[in-house]
Amino acid sequence: MNKAVKLTLPERFADTVKKFGHFNALAFVGEKPITYTELNQKTAALVRLLEDLQIKPGDKVSILSSNMPNWGIAYFAITFMGAVAVPLLPDFLPSEIENILNHSESKAIFVSEKLTAKLESIKVETLVHRIRIEDFMVTETIGQKPEYRLDQTNLNQYDPDEDDLAAIIYTSGTTGKSKGVMLSHKNICTVAENSTCVRNVNENDRLLSILPMSHTYENTLGFVMPMLKGSCVYYLSKQPTPSVLLPALLEVKPTIMFSVPLIIEKIYHNRIQPAFNSKWAIRQLYKVSFIRKKLNRIAGKKLLATFGGEIDFFGIGGAKLDRNVEKFLIEARFPYSIGYGLTETAPLLAGMKTSASRLQSTGPAITGVELKINNPDPKTGEGEIWARGANVMKGYYKEPEITAEVITPDGWFKTGDLGIFDKDKFLYIRGRIKNIIIGASGENIYPEEIESVINNYPNVLESLVVQQKGKLVALVHFNLEELQTKYNDLFEKGSNMAEQKMNDLLKELQTYVNQNVNKFSQVQMVLIQNEPFQKTATQKIKRYLYS
């Protein structure tokens, strides 16, 4: 890293424009990308619009939109002028949006046409400007509406400090109330620079973005990092359904993608696993180790082709990857990499190169990050993961007491995750401390580990293990379409036959789970969860809603 360049977004981006001005930067799939020079010009013109709206350094400006090139332009314009970006997840409820806009005291908001309806009934006294993100047209303001014009540029010069606030990220969270995580320019730029120790990113890379840019995982790693390295990022103009995503992969041929476990798990359970279970002969052959590895290698080549054939880094983060799925990826030689981090750490703390995969590990700490296990159990070595480095947040916005609870006076951030190191300092996550269930005899029960077993059972889409009246209960969401196809004759004969089959299935699942977990992790009841569980942006189940 060039030490003469300040760790601020405008300084680092200016360096990119000098080096890669004529290189492609941002585009929708199927459209011509804008270059870094054009991106710089569009950003300066948008800064001018914000100046005309009397936005000043330190003011909060929100973004409520699906992914698009203009999302990044808005984010850069806000942060380059020393204002503070407040990204909002598109699936936030109107009430959540209203609370966040009020709490952050946002003065302006960029909003996409499809999400404008969410703002119709909200009341926010500080919010005086609304800007349509598709074309940067001011739709609501006080007085005359200024116009966004590409022939204009910013009037003032801005020079944010490294420790100045760049963004407030409101977490959807899996444990309740959202908190505003304050990230500085240094926090974000440090991760964008130091994450390249896991995989060097350069001007030849192409990324296809499928996670919300309002989440710090995609924001820092999928947007800021490539923008500081001269790469090109492509966006989907529609929801990433298979019919939209598969052609886009073949067109873009990405070299890098960032994903959450659920996406690759769905591919495995819906496409790969059924292919190996379709015929009796293949099922028997698949049980033989060396044959299984050969079959997985063939499947791995097909999977690579599905992703466009040129991907060499598939980053997975946000939640724990299913053990069996990861085993397949290793044997398939698919270039995946597990990472670990939190919004509060901008986000990455640990990660590993695709060539250094270790089953169920997130790898060692990235450059510039210290990790330790605080007060480890003498027998197991497990304890809470603490982190320290230039990427640790400034704190929770307007919450000094909560901030003091999670950041020690000497700078250690308490992650709330339970983990353990191996002899090479590779980190293994056991689960969230708040999720641990204490057994009748005081044993620690990790629901995520039980859920991993459940999710490997045929026709299970997802599950959640909770404690009810002292008993371990598994809530299971089945793929009912597959079950109806599989047992069509029973479902046609009537509800009694179908109900009996489902009861038998629940008993079989309970037996299977209890044969594959330790004694105190055995479930006493399995219940059907009819609707999909509510999830966060990184597809983690909002556990607090079901506990």
Q: How far apart are the first and last CA of the chain?
A: 46
Number of neighbouring beta carbons within 10 Å of residue 487? 16
**Overall average pLDDT of the 128-151 stretch:** 97
Would you say 510 and 521 are in contact if contact means Cβ atoms under 8 Å apart? no
- Assigned token pair, 299: 């499947």
The pLDDT score that the predictor gives to residue 173 is: 42
Establish if 236 belongs to a structural domain.
no
Q: Which two three-digit tokens encode residue 315?
A: 């980053």
Q: Do 513 and 386 fall into the same domain? A: no
Same structural domain for residues 381 and 498? Answer: no
CA-CA distance, 65 to 109, in Å (whole number)? 10
Domain-located, residue 340: yes
For 6-24, write each residue's pLDDT tens digit.
999 999 999 999 999 999 9
Say whether both 429 and 442 belong to one domain: no
Contact 313, 196 (CB under 8 A): no
pLDDT higher than 60, residue 148:
yes
Shared-domain flag, residues 183 and 70: yes
User: Cα separation of 484 and 502, whole Å?
Assistant: 11
- What is the per-residue DSSP string for 332-384? HT--EEEEEE-GGGSSEEEE--GGG--TT--BSBPTTEEEEEES--TTT--EE
- List all residues 6 or more positions away from 11 whose beta carbon is below 8 Å from its beta carbon: 5
Q: Which tens digits make up the pLDDT trace of 186-239?
A: 999 999 999 999 999 999 999 999 999 999 999 999 999 999 999 999 999 998
Q: How confident is the model at residue 459 (pLDDT cuts 50, 70, 90)?
A: confident
At residue 490, the pLDDT reads: 61
Of the three residues 155, 187, 214, the one that is the final residue of a domain is 214
**Domain-ending residue, one of 157, 186, 214:** 214
Angle between helices 36-52 and 9-20 (to 10 degrees): 140
Q: Are both 207 and 303 inside the same structural domain?
A: no
Same domain for 43 and 187, yes or no, is yes
Least confident window among 200-214, 218-232, 366-380, 450-464: 450-464
* Mean pLDDT (the chain, rounded): 93
Q: Are residues 277 and 373 in the same domain?
A: yes
| 13-17, 218-222, 318-322, 441-445, range with the lowest pLDDT | 441-445
Tell whether 493 is covered by a domain.
yes
Specify the CATH number for the domain of residue 187. Answer: 3.40.50.12780
Q: Average pLDDT, stretch 15-36? A: 98
SS3 421: strand
Could you tell me if residue 111 is inside a domain? yes
Residue 481 tokens, joined = 């379409």
- On whether residue 487 sits in a domain, the answer given is yes
Last residue of a domain, one of 214, 239, 274: 214
Residue 255 included in any domain: no
Q: Are 502 and 528 part of one and the same domain? A: yes
Report the alpha-carbon distance of residue 187 to residue 7 in Å, rounded.
9
**DSSP summary character for residue 149:** -
Domain CATH number, residue 453: 3.30.300.30
Q: In the β-sheet with 395-396, what is the strand arrangement from edge to edge? A: 137-140, 129-132, 108-111, 60-64, 84-88, 165-170, 180-184, 395-396
Q: Is residue 239 part of a domain?
A: no
> What is the domain range of residue 496?
436-545
| Claim to verify: residue 117 and residue 35 sit in the same structural domain | yes
Domain count of the fold of the chain: 3
Average pLDDT of the residues in 102-119: 97
| Residues 199 and 283 grouped into a single domain | no
Q: Is 50 in the same domain as 118?
A: yes
The whole-number pLDDT of residue 266 equals 87
Q: How many Å separate Cα 253 from the centre of its chain?
A: 21
- The CB density around residue 269, as the number of other CB atoms within 10 Å, is 21
pTM value is: 0.90
* pLDDT value at residue 175: 45
Per-residue pLDDT band at 36 (split at 50, 70, 90)? very high
Q: Are residues 97 and 51 in the same domain?
A: yes
- With respect to residue 241, please indicate whether it lies within any of the assigned structural domains: no
